[in-house]
Amino acid sequence: MTNLGAFVFFYGAVFGLGVGIAYLCPIIAGWEYFPSKKGLVSGLVVGGFGFGSFAFSFISMAIANPDNEVATLKVEGGKIFPADSPISSNAPKMIQINCLIWLILL
């Protein structure tokens, strides 16, 4: 994406709305089933989201960078992998596999 305004809109508004809905729906459903334990329900839902990120980071790394290579291309702010590296070419496959896993879990 080359347009900063569009990037800010999609990343800020659309992504924010999606995450907000993803948090809110299970929390409200849990509150309705356990009205006297709203804090526990909220903590379990937020903890579940955090654990999901933790678990999927290992899955994603195993798919995209199985040999644990180190980024070599220096850019402002750090290092990245070049566009022609195997890690960069594994990224679409990683996203597809993660989406498939998420669909199975739903």
pLDDT single digits (tens) 35-77 = 999 999 999 999 988 898 898 899 999 998 888 888 888 888 8
Q: What is the pTM of this model?
A: 0.61
N- to C-terminal Cα distance for the chain? 30
**Residue 6 scores a pLDDT above 70:** yes
**Residue 1 scores a pLDDT above 70:** no
Query: Residues 34, 40: contact at Cβ < 8 Å?
Result: yes
* Phi, psi values for residue 83, rounded to 5°: -65, -25
Nearest-Å Rg of the Cα atoms of the chain is: 18
Query: Residues 88, 81: contact at Cβ < 8 Å?
Result: yes
